[in-house]
Structure 1
Amino acid sequence: MGASRYPFLFATLGDAAEQLPDELARTLETTLASLQAEPAHGGVTLLSALRDIHAVDAADGQPLPVQDRTQSQHWALARIDRANAGLTFLLELLQASERVRVDGEESQHLGDSGREALLLACRGLCDYVGLQVHAA
Structure 2
Amino acid sequence: MTASRYPFLFATLGDAAASIPDELAQALETTLSAPGAPQTDNGFTLLGCLKRIRHGEGADGQQWPSRWHTPGQRVALARIDRANAGLSLLLEMLHATERVRVDGEEAQHVGDDIRKGLLLACRGLAEYMGTQLPSA
- Please tell me whether the aligned partners of residues 64 and 75 of structure 2 are also in contact (alpha carbons under 8 angstroms): no
CA RMSD of aligned residues (A): 2.3
Equivalent residue number for residue 26 of structure 1: none
TM-score norm. by structure 2 comes to: 0.68
Structure with greater Cα Rg: 1
1:32-73 CA-to-partner distances (Å, cap 9, x unmatched) read 5x522315x656223322332233210121222122211211
The equivalences for 1:35-46 within 5 A come to: 35-39=35-39, 42=41, 44-46=44-46
Unaligned runs of 5+ in 2: 1-7, 13-31
Contact 1:36 1:45 in 2 (8 A): no
Percent identity for Structure 1 against Structure 2: 53
Q: Is the 8 A contact 2:91 2:122 kept in 1?
A: yes
**Where does structure 1 lack aligned partners over 5 or more consecutive residues?**
1-8, 14-30
Aligned residues: 107
1:129, distance to aligned residue in structure 2 (A) = 0.5
| In 1: Cα distance, 2:57 partner to 2:78 partner | 6
Hey, what does 1:110 align to over in structure 2? 110
Taking structure 1 as the reference length, the TM-score comes to 0.68
**One-letter amino acid matched to 1:77:** L
Runs of 4+ in 1 over 4 A off after TM superposition: none
Kept in 2, the 8 Å contact 1:83–1:129? The answer is yes
